[in-house]
A and B are shown apart, each in its own frame.
Chain A
Amino acid sequence: MMSKIVRTQANFLYPLIMIFGFYIVAHGHLTPGGGFQGGAVIATGVALIAVAYSYKNVKTWIKKTRLTATEAIGLLTFIITALLGISRSFFYNWLANTGLLFGQPVPYGINPGYLNTAGTLPIMNFAVGIEVLGGLGVIIMYYLHYIKEVSKNAV
């Protein structure tokens, strides 16, 4: 556990980092960024909490099995979304310009940007985002677990 200054700063910054990461993931098809970048930013928030607090507290808040399940679900969602357009080709954008979910046609040229566009791209952004979040988070949790084991054996 770090000092009180670090914990106060982490408590203040944690929600801001999470909101910024989810913003990057959700607006991946409109603004710079995307699933990978947004997932990395969210994982940075998780790492901030994991560094600032002791492992005994962090273990009760963040479960390793849940992060692994999140990672697997993200990768499966990505592959299944790509596979659903197999009638044309793998990775065919089968939702774009259909008028269904995320299917609003977008005018050519400069426009203000509409969230309900781009077909399968927001789904894939979200899938890759939670996959990166789970992967990088579970690496940090493995590190914390191993450090605790080593220090217990040394003492």
Chain B
Amino acid sequence: MRKLLLCTALIVVLAAFLYVSINPADFGYSTGDHLVFGHPRYVDMDDYFIHNGQNQTGANNIVTSIVFDYRGFDTLGEASVLFTAVLAVGMVLRALRRDAK
């Protein structure tokens, strides 16, 4: 019973994805032609970064200039998440060690 339910849910999700990828106009993605991989619908912000990124930050790699400069708070959060994870691992393993003794 559970397996049948799981298979049905998977098939429904797969059919939904296939339907969206075949008829994108029904969901407001695009009016007219298909969505093509590598050609997004709205490109204003991409064009701003591509045309001004080298002058403003001086980096050739625009991905790095976005990650560390334009969207620096994102990287700050990522680094503090890693720091907190290391703290949590140390606390858990230390408590387990005290229990084992």
Contact = CB atoms under 8 A, between A and B. Distances in A.
B54, B56, B57, B76: residue with the most chain A Cβ atoms closer than 10 Å: B57
Contacts of B82: 131-132, 135
Given A30-B60, A108-B55, A149-B100, A75 B80 contact: yes
Contacts of A53: none
A22 interface: no
Given A30-B61, A96-B58, A149-B100, 15 more contacts: A28-B64, A30-B59, A30-B60, A34-B68, A35-B68, A36-B78, A78-B76, A78-B79, A91-B69, A91-B72, A117-B58, A117-B60, A131-B79, A139-B86, A146-B96
Interface stretch (A7-15, A44-52, A54-62, A118-126): A118-126
Interface in B18-45: none
Interface in A75-94: 75, 78-79, 82, 90-91, 93
Interface string A136-153: 001100110110011001
A128 B82 CA distance: 11
Main secondary structure of the interface of B (DSSP, over half): helix
Interface of A: 28-32, 34-36, 68, 71, 74-75, 78-79, 82, 90-91, 93, 96-97, 102-109, 111, 113, 117-121, 124-125, 128, 131-132, 135, 138-139, 142-143, 145-146, 149-150, 153
Contacts of B4: none
A120 B83 CA distance: 22
B61, B63, B65, B96: residue with the most chain A Cβ atoms closer than 10 Å: B61
A91 B73 contact: yes
A101 to B, nearest CB: 12
Contacts of B14: none
A153 B100 contact: yes
